[in-house]
Structures are given as C-alpha cells and as structure tokens.
Chain A
C-alpha cells in the first residue's frame, strides 16, 4: 500500500468569540470604516429580521425564514462581491441581497407573497430566491460558463444551506465547475440545521468543505460568526475565480438562532441549551466589542444606529403595506414573452374578475 494523495481542509478565523483579533489578519482589519460598515449592515439585518418575524406573527407577512445568528455570513459575502459579479441566493441571504440592490421593501414583498419582490433593479443579473433546496448551484455553473464564454472578468457566487449539500445537484454543480474550470464560488451556510435534521445526521463527512476535494478544487471552512473571515475568504475566492477560473467551496460555520422559518417550531427537536451555548459566538456582538476596544464604537453610536435602522425598516414596512396587489392578469403577463392565444380566454376571466372586484 502507498498513499497516492493527501488533502487538507483549512479553517479560517480572525476575530474569535472573545473578540480577540488574531496576529495574522487580513488588510480589511486596518480599514476601520469598512469594519463599521459591516457592523452597521449586520445590525440593520438583525433589526429587519426581527421586524419580518413580528410582521408574520401579526398576519402581515407570509412564512419567513429568519437569518438571526447568520448575519455575518451574508453581510460578509455580499460585501466581498464586486457589483459586476453575479449572485445566486437561496432564501435566507438578505444580508447579501440588500448590498446587491434588493430593497427592504422588496424583501417584504417577496415574503408577503408578491413576485415583484424578485425584480430587484432592472439591470440586475442576480437570481431570485431559489426555494427548491440545492437546485441553484447549477444555475451558477451556467452563469459562470457564460461569463467565461463571453471573456468577462467576473465571477458567480452561489449560496446554499448545509442540508442542500446532500442533494445531487450540489455535487453535479461542483463537479462540472471543477471539470470546466468555471469562475464560481460555492458557499454553504452551515447553520447546523436542515429544518429539524442536524448537521451530524445529514452526512458522516467531518466537514462540508471537504466535499470540494472530490470535485478537484479547494474547500475551506470559515468561522461564519466572524464577518472579517467571511468577507476576506469570500473576496479571495472570488478573486481566484475571476482571475484564474478556479472554483472554490467555502463552508461558513454558524448557528441558526431561530426556528427554520416562522412556520417551524424548533422546540420540538432542538436541545434548548444548544442555542444559548452557541449564542456566545454570535457575530454582531463579537464585532461590536472589538470596535469598542479599538475606540471605533460607543453606546451613543449604537443608539443612533439602532434608531436609524428602526427608521429605515419602518419606512420599508410603511411602503410595503401601501403597495397594492398586482392586477389579477399579472398571473399570465410574465408567463411567456407573448401570451399564446389559447390562454387569452383564461386571462380574460381574471380581467373580468378584476373589474368585478372594483365594481
């Protein structure tokens, strides 16, 4: 017997759970204004998230998947992306999407049951939320192929959850990305839970990052509660993708500090102490303590930020509730480029229903 190959899975963390910065750290750490920006975004996401849950509880929003505890993962990756890159989200990634041009109002529209929430900005190439779990990394490979085909210096970033790594599509996407050297970065937000099934039941693999190895490229594990590590490793991976067409897989290790969605009740399966235990590592407070330590943050700034976030979120809610529903004929109006003749009578039924409802 001889060993023909050995593989390694690196782990990255710069700011630990006690808010102590590692000696070896990325240049981002010296850019205090960037750190403050990351902090402000995480706070905005947390305030927005709590409001969305509250709106659902009071019947003003549909089922909503909370992003609580995972703010660093999405804010960090969104911050690392160039505007010209393409983002392929799953559905918990509002921290990235608000940096890509999706408004808070659109987030509420989507989860409030209105397709217009997916419109983002007119020239935006980012994909809408992908609810069928694990299907979207394949779209990223197609977009990445097109980028390469068109000789552009851009990259694609696709996100999925830990449960999605059990899907065949996840492997198929990584396999073709490796085989064809596509400019794509896959990120797994490992929040430890796929609804009720914990990470350890999902797979016997020691890490999710190692799943890249079989596809022929690097997989890294990153402390998903450390926004600096998330931002830095994502930026590095995107750079490799853009410049060298090397795909990469990043496993962001974090914890879901909420039920799966507002329709879920995690007390049925989640050991109570676990969430409390993991809360010690949560990303927002961790960065705040660090910023305070370096004199870049204060209680007064905190209060001002919270007030500004609340105001921004309240304005979005006010706009959301004031937006009237789409006309009933909208059901047909984006189905095809031109609606085929045979469906016109059905559209007409809806047009008449619309008239009657205003009658």
Chain B
C-alpha cells in the first residue's frame, strides 16, 4: 500500500490495466515521452512501448475519431485531452459517433473508449483551461460521464471505465490532482460505475456534489457538525447515468437538499437532480432545494476564479437557509 495523489492513482490504474490487457492503449498529445502535461501517463512509454503509448499529432478531433476506429477493432483506447477546453473539436466524434455506434449498428460495432480530460477551475491556468462542461456530455444518450474525487476513487473508477463496454467521458478534477494523498492498493479492483458514493452519513440535510467540489462540501459538512447540523454528503461520481435512487433515499431521510457543482447554474446537472427531487420527493421536502454553483458566465481568468467557484461560505449559507425551515 502506498500513499499517492489523484494523478498518481490515474497513472497506477492505466499501468495496471495496460499490464492486464494488451488491447488497452493510451493516446493523446504529449502522453509519451513527456508523460502528459499533468504527468498522468508518466513512465508508461518506457514500460509499454510506443505502439501502446501514442503521442498523436496535435488534433483533438483526430484523437476522438482514431479512438472510435481502434475500438471498432476490439482495442480499448484511453484517449487523453489535455484540458476540457480542448475537447470540443472532438465533440463531433464523441457525440455523433462514439456515443451512437452501438445503437446505429444494433450492437454490431461497439465503442469501448475512455475519453479522459482534466477539468475545472482553481489551478491558476490560462484561458480555456478551467472548464467544467460535464453537462454537455451528460445530455448525450449513449455516453457515461464519470468523475472521481479522491485517489482511491480515481483508481477504481478508471479501471471500471476502461473495462466498460461503452464509451466513458472520464473527467479528472485538476484542482485535486495533487491536493491530497491517500492509501491506494494496486489490486486491480474496480469500483462500480452508475452509483453514487455516500461519503458521510447525516440526518438533517443532503449535500450532493462531485469532482473538486467534494473538498469544500466535506469541509462544510464538518463545520455543520460542529454547529449541530448533521449533513449527509453524496459524491455522485457517475453523472450519467445518474443513480438517483441513492439521492432520493437520502432526501427522503433528511428532507433537505443542496446540490453543489462548479459548472454554471442553468442547465447544469444540478438542475436535473433538483428536477428529479421535485418529481419524486416533493412531499418529503422540508425546505426548497438549493443549488450552489458556478455562475452563468464564462469562467474567469486566474485572478477572479476563486470568486467564481462555490466557496465554503456560499455552501454554508445555502445550508443555513434550508435549515431555517422547520
């Protein structure tokens, strides 16, 4: 067992699965000799060779389309996009082809690709390096959208994503890449997809979040505990398909729900969660649900980004508001 960071856990999972399955290959810009701009693929070229660790020409749509073709031949490509702001040239390949190939051919051709990309703000990066547009992909039938929030979940969920027979958008919170270390056993055991993880149980309020915002949300839950408020924290982990049952059970227990995400408010995944809460748990609610999110504006450059991201104070304020209802 070793204490490793989230980005090291990504590397560990890639190495494990490449060792276990010769059809797993890694491709992307600078993933070879350089080991990726965040070093997620460091050492893989030396270990597995240039046929399996592919420094691609600098063309994101190509990375997407190439992966679709490889997957059709039984390979399991793990494609890296350097930042989420650069995944959009591949949007056509992901949405029009990867997501639809199984359905289009009635199962004759499938697309077991993992499209990995760091996402989110808070690392003082240049323009276009701080996007969190998971909702684009969560809206697309045929895809899975998976977001880890700790080294152990990064390891287990990435293994699951690579082994999944369908395309997975795997979004890695760059703010957490080197935030904390955790013991991760390289045992090849995958975590389940399509389920939420309840990180903390509580009885007064349900806090639903994912990715980097898990950090602030857990801190708020601890602060609330000291104030005598018992918060349950759910890490959604798989944004699509959504495990609403876990959220529903929690909201039925607590009667209060606050969703926290750093993506813009309108049409974010929080809107879907609150809609389902309204549809299925309205009469269990003691207070109107709240969303604490990024703003409906373009994610600002580095000097303003911490004011864009939901702060612990904003989350705390929202919880205090929902707690005011008896």
Interfacial residues, chain A to chain B (CB-CB below 8 A)? 115-116, 118-120, 122, 124-125, 127-128, 130, 132, 135, 137-147, 149-150, 168-169, 172-173, 175-176, 179, 330, 334-337, 340-343
> Are A335 and B61 in touch, CB under 8 angstroms?
no
Nearest chain A CB to B306 CB, angstrom units = 35
> Are B66 and A337 in touch, CB under 8 angstroms?
no
Q: Which of B51-81 contact A (CB under 8 A)?
A: 51, 56-57, 59, 61-62, 64-75, 77
> Are B97 and A179 in touch, CB under 8 angstroms?
no
Q: Tell whether B129 is near chain A: CB-to-CB under 8 Å.
A: no
Interfacial residues, chain B to chain A (CB-CB below 8 A)? 25, 51, 56-57, 59, 61-62, 64-75, 77, 89, 92-93, 96-97, 102-110, 141-142, 164-166, 194, 241-245
> Are A115 and B104 in touch, CB under 8 angstroms?
yes
A172 to B93, CA, bound (A): 13
- Give every chain A residue within 8 A of B164 (Cβ-Cβ): 337
A334 to B141, CA, bound (A): 11
Partner of A135, one of B56, B70, B96, B102: B96
Given contacts A335-B103, A335-B142, is CB(A176)–CB(B57) below 8 Å? yes
> Are A337 and B165 in touch, CB under 8 angstroms?
yes
> Are B57 and A145 in touch, CB under 8 angstroms?
no
> Are A118 and B105 in touch, CB under 8 angstroms?
yes
Partner of B102, one of A138, A141, A144, A334: A334
> Are A334 and B106 in touch, CB under 8 angstroms?
yes
> Are B97 and A139 in touch, CB under 8 angstroms?
yes
- Give every chain A residue within 8 A of B73 (Cβ-Cβ): 125, 142-143, 146-147, 150
Residue of B nearest to A326 (CB): B106
Among A139, A143, A342: residue with most chain B CB under 10 A: A139
Closest 7 CB pairs of A and B: A142-B69, A138-B65, A146-B73, A340-B241, A172-B62, A337-B165, A139-B69
Nearest chain A CB to B25 CB, angstrom units = 8
- Give every chain B residue within 8 A of A124 (Cβ-Cβ): 108
Among B72, B74, B110: residue with most chain A CB under 10 A: B72
A130 to B109, CA, bound (A): 13
A128 to B59, CA, bound (A): 24
- Give every chain A residue within 8 A of B68 (Cβ-Cβ): 138-139, 142
Among A118, A128, A142: residue with most chain B CB under 10 A: A142
A261 to B49, CA, bound (A): 48
> Are A119 and B105 in touch, CB under 8 angstroms?
yes
> Are A125 and B72 in touch, CB under 8 angstroms?
yes
> Are A175 and B102 in touch, CB under 8 angstroms?
no
